[in-house]
Chains A and B, each alone.
Chain A
Amino acid sequence: MSSSTHHEGAGDVLVDVRGISKVFRTYRSPADRLKQYLARGMGLGGRSRFDEFCALQDVSFEVRRGDAVGLIGRNGSGKSTLLQIIAGVMRPTAGTVQTRGRVAALLELGSGFNPEFTGRENLALHATLVGIDRDELKECLPAIEAFADIGEFIDRPLKTYSSGMIVRLAFAVHAQLRPDVLIVDEALAVGDAAFQIKCMTHLRRLLDRGVCVLLVTHDPNTVRSFCSRAIWLDHGRIRESGDPRSVTVNYCRVLYSGEMSDAAGSAVPPAAPVESIATTQSLAEARAGEPGHALSSEASRAPSLSDRDGLTRWGSGEIVLLAAGLFRVATGEQLGVVPLGERVRLVLRVAMRSPVRPSRWGLGFAIRDSKGLAVVSHVTLATHTELPQLGVGQELIAAFEFDNHLAPGTYSLAAVAEQMIGAERLYFDFVENAVIFQSLSPFAGFSLTLPPVVQEFLVVESSRSSDAAEPASGGQ
């Protein structure tokens, strides 16, 4: 049980979390809380004046020197509460936390700042708060200014800053610290890309120096690229912990597929009898056997687009999108996480609600990255594909097959049903965030897409003629 039995020795454990539970009691009024304290103090049971909410239940783990642990989980899963307890801001209801060495917490950058004072004036207090005294501050002020990189703003009141600048300034102070344990709570999600890279570089340098880092993030890719271990918190419990790759894959699978909608209580679309008309390009030929059957099976499993949160949709509504889902071509399973290079099928189900003037109509989709940039798009009107004319009450199932070459990240797929009247494009139904999925890659990407590239190498003797050269080649 005791940590000293580990062969590395107890000295390596910098954070030791044992059986942490946190129960929040929600009282109808703060005075009720006081009454409860007093009643308990006088030994009276009395009636309970609170509802209990269990934010953390029996959470235990250790963090060793040089570890980078990523905490992932949905909103409200207890991540921030856990970090607050480890940082010493909050006390657990049960269990113990032991930390060794200097603990620095980046719970919310810039939260101790006052908008009336200049950046430099705020630095004075903030530096003291994190343990840099006046003389030390004088020494490292140039370094702070260089890291923050906000120019003359350092001498202007903080209220004139953008939120990104405040974060820069606060992180610049923290960058001067030499902690043993660093706790980061989604603090780095703000700020521009260049600054984020700067922060990550700094964190990596700390890791190399033997600092252990505890990081809360929503982004599975940060965990995969940065952390040596991932802990997945779900409803206040550790659901899975270990290799960042497998934990994040499982996490994303749950987050973006069925389990979330189950939890949200939204109904799975009924597998109603459909007059299926499988069309679109060479799909039918590509899939041997009964393409229609496979399609309708997938269409019945595709998540419904009615009454789901986070959807933005508009359009005239004569034809509506009923369901959309991504499926692995090889196995037909629904995907929330798509490995790089995987062949996937987007299945859309649309229905005609009211008659429309016969016209050219089409379906399409666009895949946007987390910054909103459309990386992939495809519309049948552009490829001059004739879609069958539907009657009222009829549904159409369409599938689009493509290889996933998207760089690692979170993507949002917008689906559309549209028509052309003359040169004008009119939307029957336009659904943003119809499918949200992750692209995962075993290697880092530096571009928006990572299409397969054939590699070939040849070693030649530069002094001799090239006929002595020995070819060496490798695939992707």
Chain B
Amino acid sequence: MHTPLRTLNPVQSIRTLWSSRSLLRELVIRDVALRYKGSVLGYFWAILTPLITLAIFTYVFSVVLRARWPGMPEQDSHLGFALAAFCGMVGFQAFSEPVGRSATLITSNPNFVKKIVFPLEALPLMTACSAAVLAVLNLITLLAVTWLVTGRIPVTVVAWPLVILPALLLGLGVAWFVAALGVYLRDLGQLIGPLLQMLYLLTPVLYPLSAVPEAVRWLVGANPLTVVAEGSRAVLVAGQWPDWSMLATALLVSVCVAQLGYAWFVTTKWGFADVV
């Protein structure tokens, strides 16, 4: 039996999840492969989609809106704004990918619930890992484009995994929570899309934090995803190190959310088989 206290022990949680790592690896391989399976271009889409996004960003923000990103180099090229926005988007996607899929994750896999003995908590973890793979693929494209345009890649890139980590952990925690709740409350499947879109616009992804009015800036700044978006831009485009104290706070918050989400999931998962 899982007692609530035991499910809140991070060491215990990690140990449990670690024990199903080989299963997780197969799940992630399958999940990533399934994204491109059967398409004509196959894995080429992994490069093509970020390029298309970059092209659209460039056209809309630099050509149509003639927007300029304050404090960014490469303002001369049209790509500057797009690269800055794209950095933030990659960070946000690390969160929104697992969350967006979570509401219907359990109900769309009834076999895993009822027909086989399966550690269900691995499913949200799988989506978070897939999101990490996706983020790395996007990063590679981004770096390639940056290198082509500016001829150099900032050394601060090495801090990027640490910068994106809060978004992944936060996404994982919320995904665990929403996945379990979504079994009982099917409405979440409809609700989660608009909510994520709202959060996307409220997080400084397409604009810098400095553009937010002073009065509410503290509120926007309290969002761990703001730290991720701003930090990504700093390390990938501006060549600056992230705000370490902010990053540490965001990391702490996201670890807590992940742990709480996990505890919620493993205590409610025994009811799944009765509902699904």
Q: Does A155 contact B (CB under 8 A)?
A: no
| Shortest Cβ distance from residue A462 to the other chain B in the assembled complex, whole angstroms | 61
Q: Determine the chain B residues whose CB is within 8 A of the CB of A31 once the complex forms.
A: 184-185, 187
Q: Are A105 and B184 in contact (CB under 8 A)?
A: no
With A125-B27, A128-B23, A133-B22 as known contacts, state yes or no: A107 contacts B34, CB within 8 Å.
Answer: no
Q: Which residue of B lies closest to A32 (CB)?
A: B184
Residues of A within 8 A of B33 (CB): 117, 121
The 7 closest A-B pairs by CB, nearest first: A111-B115, A111-B111, A90-B273, A125-B26, A34-B184, A108-B115, A128-B26
Q: B21 → chain A, closest Cβ, in Å?
A: 10
- CB-based contact B274/A90 at 8 Å: yes
- Chain B residues with Cβ below 8 Å from A103 are 117
Name the prevailing secondary structure of the B interface residues.
Answer: helix
Cβ of B186 < 8 Å from any Cβ of A? yes
**Given A111-B116, A116-B34: A25 in contact with B274 (beta carbons within 8 A):** yes
Residue B113 interfacial (CB < 8 Å): yes
Please indicate the chain B residues that have their CB under 8 angstroms from the CB of A89 in the complex: 113-117, 273
CB distance from A314 to the nearest CB of B (A): 39
Is A204 an interface position by the 8 A CB rule? no
Are the CB atoms of B275 and A33 closer together than 8 Å?
Answer: yes
The answer to whether A393 has its CB under 8 Å from any CB of chain B is no
Q: How far apart are A83's CB and chain B's nearest CB, in angstroms?
A: 11
Residue contact B186 to A117, C-beta cutoff 8 Å: no
- Smallest beta-carbon distance B35→chain A, Å: 11
The interface residues of chain A lying within 8 Å CB-to-CB of B184 are 30-31, 33-34
Could you pull out 17 A-B pairs where Cβ atoms are within 8 angstroms?
A31-B187, A33-B184, A33-B271, A34-B184, A84-B114, A89-B113, A89-B114, A89-B273, A105-B117, A107-B115, A107-B116, A111-B115, A112-B112, A114-B30, A116-B34, A128-B23, A133-B22
Interface on B for A, CB 8 Å cutoff?
22-23, 25-27, 29-30, 33-34, 37-38, 111-118, 181, 183-187, 270-271, 273-275
The 8 Å CB contact of B22, one of A84, A88, A114, A128, is A128
In the bound complex, how far is the Cα of B188 from the Cα of A31, in angstroms? Answer: 11
A24 within 8 A of B: yes
**CA A427 to CA B116, docked complex, whole Å:** 50
What distance in Å separates the Cβ of A344 from its nearest Cβ neighbour in chain B?
A: 42
Q: At the interface, yes or no: A129 with Cβ under 8 Å from chain B?
A: yes
Asked whether A117 lies within 8 Å of B116 as measured between CB atoms, the reply is no
Which residues of the partner chain B approach A90 to less than 8 Å between Cβ atoms? 114, 273-274
Confirm or deny: A322 has a beta carbon within 8 angstroms of a beta carbon on chain B: no
Q: Say yes or no: is A134 at the interface (Cβ < 8 Å to chain B).
A: yes
Question: Which residues of chain A are within 8 angstroms of B275 by Cβ–Cβ distance?
Answer: 30, 33
**Known interface pairs A91-B270, A125-B27. Does A30 touch B117 (Cβ–Cβ under 8 Å)?**
no
Contacts of B29 in A (CB 8 A): 124
Q: Which residues of A contact B118 (CB under 8 A)?
A: 112, 129
**Contact among B27, B37, B185, B274 with A34 in the assembled complex (CB-CB below 8 Å):** B185
Contact between chains at A129 and B23 (CB < 8 Å): yes
Query: From residue A41, how far is it (CB to closest CB) to chain B in Å?
Result: 11
Q: Bound state CA distance, A331 and B115, in angstroms?
A: 47
**Residues from chain B with Cβ under 8 Å of A25 in the complex:** 274
Q: How far is the CB of A40 from chain B (nearest CB, A)?
A: 12
Query: How many Å lie between the Cα of A233 and that of B27 in the bound state?
Result: 37
In A1-58, the 8 Å CB interface with B consists of: 24-25, 30-31, 33-34, 37
* A88 CA / B114 CA spacing, docked (Å): 10
- Produce 1/0 per residue, A95-117, CB < 8 A to B: 00000000101011001101011
Closest to A93 in B: B274
Interface residue? A335 (CB, 8 A): no
Closest residue of B by beta carbon distance from A107: B115
Could you list 18 further interchain pairs (A-B, Cβ under 8 angstroms) beyond the known A89-B113, A124-B30? Answer: A31-B185, A33-B271, A34-B184, A84-B114, A90-B274, A105-B116, A105-B117, A108-B116, A112-B115, A112-B116, A112-B118, A116-B34, A117-B33, A121-B33, A128-B25, A129-B116, A129-B118, A134-B22
How far, in whole Å, are A124 and B25 apart by their CA atoms in the complex? 10
Contacts of A30 in B (CB 8 A): 183-186, 275
Interface contact B185-A87, CB-CB below 8 Å? no
Distance of A116 Cα from B42 Cα, bound (Å):
14
Chain A residue with minimal CB distance to B274? A24
- A24 — which chain B residues lie within 8 A by C-beta? 274
Considering the complex, give the chain B residue whose CB is closest to the CB of A109.
Answer: B115
What residues of chain A lie closer than 8 Å to B112, measured between beta carbons? 112
Contacts of B273 in A (CB 8 A): 84, 89-91
Chain A residues lying within 8 Å of B34, measured Cβ to Cβ, are 114, 116-117
B117→A87 contact, CB < 8 A = yes
Q: Are A108 and B117 in contact (CB under 8 A)?
A: no
CB distance from B111 to the nearest CB of A (A): 4
A90 to B27, CA, bound (A): 22
Q: How far is the CA of A376 from the CA of B180 in the complex (A)?
A: 57
Q: Which residues of A contact B185 (CB under 8 A)?
A: 30-31, 34
Tell me how far the C-beta of B122 lies from the nearest C-beta in chain A, rounded to whole angstroms.
10
B-side contacts of A111, CB under 8 Å: 111, 115-116
| Most chain B CB atoms below 10 A, which of A89, A105, A114, A117 | A89
